[in-house]
Amino acid sequence: MGDVLGQIKDERGGFVKLLSKIPGFKGYMEKESRRDADKLVRDAIAGRFAAQLDRLSEVQMELIPNGGFEFLDDVEQAAVKLRTFIDRVKTAPRGYAGLFDAVQVKEEQLEQLYNFDAQLLGEADNLARMVDACKVAMGTLPPPIDGSLATGPDALKPAIAALRRTCAGLNDLFDKREHILVGSL
């Protein structure tokens, strides 16, 4: 997270650097940089999950010719939950609130948000593995060499069930971010 904040600071022009010498302006710009960094991170998180949503659409298309017609509704429910999650990430309040905003976010809460967002990036990797498990079970993706993913029709039902639980859980997980912002954690 610090790299994103540093990049935003480095991209400032000379005029902003001059203004930063005005008492109070430096703190204001720090806070604005944090807001910008938070937005960039959330956009990156949403992008990673959107890529998995695209792959989930592929799973839906592959289900019919691969004998998984009965799982179409389950995969669609997972996709709806995932779309909802992505929309929430994109439209969430910024991690730092301005002076007159209704919610004020302290440094400690901001650090919690950064850690939480890092956890979300890990969840995107987890979701990718679950989509892989569905594709391997259908035979549309070769199994990994280490044999960690089951193949065949018997593997499809548990793979889709795990995918569904994970997509539903993402929204519950994101609720925790909102609790951090309102200080109820």
**Whole-angstrom distance, CA of residue 142 vs CA of residue 137:** 9
Domains: count for the chain: 1
Q: pLDDT by residue (tens digit) across 80-98?
A: 999 999 999 988 766 544 4
Residue 3's pLDDT is 58
Q: Please report, for residues 18, 73, 74, 149, the alpha-carbon distance to residue 155 in angstroms, rounded to integers and kept in the order given.
A: 62, 17, 15, 9
- The total number of residues shown for the chain amounts to 185
Residue 88 has which token pair?
């929430």
Convert the pLDDT of each residue in 29-47 to its tens digit: 566 666 777 778 888 899 9
Torsion of CA 106, 39, 170, 128, to 10 degrees: -130
Domain that holds residue 91: 2-182
Are 33 and 5 within 8 A, CB to CB?
Answer: yes
* Surface-to-core class of residue 2, CB atoms within 10 Å of its CB (0-12 exposed, 13-18 middle, 19+ buried): exposed
